[in-house]
Amino acid sequence: MAASLLRMSRWSKPLFSREVAPLFVGGTLIGGILAPMALLFGKESRSRSMLASVLALAGGLAFRFAIIQAGRKSADDPEAYFTFASGESAPQPEDKV
């Protein structure tokens, strides 16, 4: 996922904007992926696995909100659309995606 975001540099900027980045990075990547993985390493317990499950669900919800907010922010940047429509920076068939 990170490699895809780096390839889409201009188009992924709204995800890392001041308004959306805390939700995307904090809520999705850290709270929804890294924290549940950290909880599942070590001694197994029912409470840890339930907390990991709740964090993963909350991370999914944060991801949905981040994508919607980033899409709204992206709509305010007509230049991003023009570069997308012209094929600039778009993955080519010979690229490994």
Higher pLDDT, 56 or 15: 56
Q: In this structure, is the dihedral angle defined by the CA atoms of residues 65, 66, 67 and 72, taken in order, positive or negative?
A: positive
pLDDT, position 1: 57
Q: Which two tokens stand for residue 65?
A: 């909100």
CA 63 – CA 89 distance, rounded (Å): 24
Q: pLDDT tens digit string along 76-86?
A: 877 777 776 77
Predicted TM-score (pTM) of this structure? 0.72
What pLDDT, in 10s, does the model give residues 36-82? 999 999 888 999 999 999 999 999 999 999 999 988 888 887 777 77
pLDDT at 3: 59
